[in-house]
Amino acid sequence: MKYIASCSFGKDSLAMLLKILELGLPLDEVVYCDIRFNEKSLSGETPEMAAWIPQAEKILKDKFNITVKRISSRWTFKSHFYRVKRKGNHIGDNYGFPYVVGAWCNSRLKLEPMNKYIKQILKSGESVTEYIGIAKDEPKRLQRYKKLETENHKYVTLADLDITELEAMEICKQHNLLSPIYKSSFRGGCWFCPKQSLKQLKWLYTNHPELWQVLKEMEKDSHNTFKPNMTLTDLEERFKQGGDTK
């Protein structure tokens, strides 16, 4: 059995890791899926999070002698956005922005590399237990993962340790491992996430106009708008006029 902790450097996965260490649970590897906007300079993380991750890695190394392994998709957000569709709707167009439901970025950039990594281990004949930072107050996500379990691939979550999201935040704070993103922003996740709230998008527009501009340029090449039936220019106007973000 190989024990792997998935770590996004968000509060939940870090709290999971800290609890594993505190309880002395078996652990072989800590894996981070590095979602890229493009191959070179731009990460999918917000700049605040991208700057903080190396600091968190250093704390993990110095305090617990943990080295985080990085894996990545063969696709970046940009390369998949401009990939030409060969099946489904809009054949011949670019993939464009991911839809809110069934977002291609989630499957291609996040799940695919981790699944591939786990599959390789399973192929070698080993079983896997994956530690995932899903708290007990996230029942829907929890159910989704539990449904994916097989005899050789099990999940252990924060919920199994009876921990809520708020408690996860406290655990991270105690170890100086709470990302500063939670002070300024409302969630972790990619800055180009189609699932982010309008409040979060306004934060991006206000704090990272250069990234907002990148998305606006890309919208010209997308068959769909960034948010359903709402262009980024529409949103910009709304933000400028102090419109609500609900």
What is the closest distance, in whole angstroms, from the C-beta atom of residue 105 to ligand SF4 in the complex? 3
Q: Is there a contact between 45 and 190 (Cβ–Cβ < 8 Å)?
A: yes
Note the residues at the interface with ligand SF4 (CB under 6 A).
Answer: 35, 44, 98, 103, 105-106, 109-110, 189-190, 192-193, 195
How many other β-carbons are positioned within 10 Å of the β-carbon of residue 156?
18
User: Buried b vs exposed e over 65-90: b needs ≥16 C-beta within 10 Å?
Assistant: ebebeeeebebbbbbbbeeeeeeeee
Rg of the chain (C-alpha set): 19
What is the closest distance, in whole angstroms, from the C-beta atom of residue 124 to ligand SF4 in the complex? 28
Residue 232: alpha-carbon gap to chain centroid: 22
What is the closest distance, in whole angstroms, from the C-beta atom of residue 123 to ligand SF4 in the complex? 25
Residue 134: alpha-carbon gap to chain centroid: 13
DSSP state of 155: E
Nearer to ligand SF4, 154 or 227 (CB): 227
What is the closest distance, in whole angstroms, from the C-beta atom of residue 191 to ligand SF4 in the complex? 8
Q: Is there a contact between 3 and 129 (Cβ–Cβ < 8 Å)?
A: yes
Give the three-class secondary structure for 156: strand
What is the closest distance, in whole angstroms, from the C-beta atom of residue 78 to ligand SF4 in the complex? 12
Cβ neighbors of 126 (< 8 A, separation 6 or more) are 1, 2
The type of residue at 14 is L
What is the closest distance, in whole angstroms, from the C-beta atom of residue 93 to ligand SF4 in the complex? 19
